[in-house]
């Protein structure tokens, strides 16, 4: 239940296609509902458009809500596929903070970089990294390498890559009720609370240029985005 006594924070999942953003969104809803109370949302109810179910990717931004003891979160699940970057811009413009999802099996990929750049351009104040699919990687050195690459990439775009939280987990494992991975979702929620509290999750004084980008993402995309999305295929 939405308690108006709690600070309200807008967050969202960003990252490369098929790295597990929607699965993580469902896992957060499910685990936090179990731990703190609230309504769980499964994967199907988040990716609920027929074309999304058919293609197995997120096309439109989806919205869910959940609570921690200290905050009420409105969460937008953004598409990662390059064809739908305009939808991604609309979703990112609403965020007070972002959860960057990177599959440990792949490491940073093209949309990982693009979404970090987008986050910087529209003024997302902070990013927390969730390294997903860690249950599929047995090599600790590989996990360390992926984490290092992500931190370096974030630093490249002026986020505090050396200092920001990186949680290694498995969204699917958490969604399936595996205790060790559920604990990682709680750790992620605690990191969100800590970072939102430190920054008060306020977007005071957004520059006029960024405000225009937020209000008119199509215009900003056309003139500023360094990548060009292909026209979505019909059917």
CA atoms within 13 A on the CB side of 12: 25
Active-site residue, 231 included:
no
Pairing of strands 62-67, 72-77: antiparallel
Active-site residue, 18 included:
yes
Angle between helices 110-122 and 208-215 (to 10 degrees): 120
Catalytic residue among 13, 16, 19, 22: 22
- The encoded tokens of residue 169 equal 């987990």
Is the separation of the CB atoms in 22 and 58 below 8 Å?
A: yes
Cα dihedral: 63, 196, 66, 28 (round 10): 90
d(CA 187, CA 2): 22
Catalytic residue among 21, 72, 115, 184: 21
Q: Which of 66, 90, 58, 100 is nearest to 214 (CA)?
A: 90
Catalytic residue among 81, 115, 133, 184: 81
Residues marked as catalytic: 18, 21-22, 81
């Amino acid at each position: 239940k939405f308690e108006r006594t709690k600070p309200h924070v807008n967050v969202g999942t960003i990252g490369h296609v098929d790295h597990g953003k929607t699965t993580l969104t469902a896992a957060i809803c499910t685990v936090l509902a179990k731990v703190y109370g609230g309504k769980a949302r499964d994967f199907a109810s988040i990716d609920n458009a027929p074309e999304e179910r058919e293609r197995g990717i997120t096309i439109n931004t989806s919205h869910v809500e959940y609570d921690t003891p200290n905050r009420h979160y409105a969460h937008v699940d953004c598409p990662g596929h390059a064809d739908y970057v305009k939808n991604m811009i609309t979703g990112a413009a609403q965020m007070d903070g972002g959860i960057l999802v990177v599959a440990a099996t792949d490491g940073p990929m093209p949309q990982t970089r693009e979404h970090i750049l987008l986050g910087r351009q529209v003024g997302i104040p902070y990013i927390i990294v969730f390294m997903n699919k860690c249950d599929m990687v047995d090599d600790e050195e590989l996990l360390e390498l992926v984490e290092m690459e992500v931190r370096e990439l974030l630093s490249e775009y002026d986020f505090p890559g050396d200092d920001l939280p990186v949680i290694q987990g498995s969204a699917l494992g958490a969604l399936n009720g595996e205790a060790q991975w559920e604990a990682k979702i709680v750790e992620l929620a605690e990191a969100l609370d800590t970072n939102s509290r430190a920054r008060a999750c306020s977007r005071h004084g957004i520059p006029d240029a960024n405000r225009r980008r937020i209000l008119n993402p199509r215009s900003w995309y056309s003139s500023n985005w360094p990548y060009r999305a292909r026209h979505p295929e019909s059917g």
